Amino acid sequence: MNQVLDLVGIFVFALSGALVGVRKRLDVVGMAVLAEMTALGGGILRDLILNVRPAAFSSTGYVLVPIAATVIVFFWHPHVQRVMPAVDVLDAAGLGLFCAVGTEKAMNFGLSPLHGALLGVTTAVGGGILRDILAGQIPNLLYDRQLYAVPAMLGSAVMAVLYTVDLHGWPATLAAAVLAFGLRIAAMRLRLRAPLARGVTPE
């Protein structure tokens, strides 16, 4: 079940990466690279920090799913753009799942709650950072005006606290993931924004 949820999250993240490739007028190879990096980059960074073989290299599905997402976007990107509200909801679900799972895995390796939460955030947003760098744009994380990283931070923090008080496994993971998901959805629906420095006006 966990792998199925992983693959769903990977697919949605890969769609967003491939769509960036379309907007940047990249060819199919560039689209595939952005899809793979967006979907797998965060988990790979986490596992490299933990000094374990990245989960992305334990199953061919982890690599093939982003390729499938790339093919879909390559041929039907106008249709994918039209259903982006639904994709955004799934993306929020992937964000919640990845931050919770990443935090739990880090703490299973003996990291402190703080470091575990940091790796949870890395799992959730690391792929997006790599995507933006490769696409030649400022990573969204550096101007989190749509509250993307903040829900991941809070979800990871809650997962770390639950793990610390010996509440882990799928109920704790689900609770942390739902919290991050709910915050992300609220941010999209209510147009919540992270504050700018005092005296700075938005563009």
User: Hey, where are the domains in the chain?
Assistant: 2-190
Task: Report the alpha-carbon distance of residue 133 to residue 90 in Å, rounded.
Answer: 23
Per-residue pLDDT, 121: 95
Per-residue pLDDT, 2: 60
pLDDT at 143 > cutoff 80: no
Q: Percentage of the chain with pLDDT > 70?
A: 97
Q: What's the whole-model pTM score?
A: 0.86
Residues 34-51: pLDDT tens digits? 999 999 999 999 999 999
> CB–CB of 146/63 below 8 Å?
no
Task: Report the alpha-carbon distance of residue 106 to residue 122 in Å, rounded.
Answer: 11
CA dihedral of 105, 19, 141, 89, whole degrees rounded to 10: -60
Residue whose tokens read 């947003």: 125
- Say whether 168 sits in a helix, a strand or coil: coil
Please report, for the chain, how many H helices and E strands are present, in that order.
7, 0
pLDDT at 185 > cutoff 60: yes
Per-residue pLDDT, 164: 94
pLDDT at 122 > cutoff 60: yes
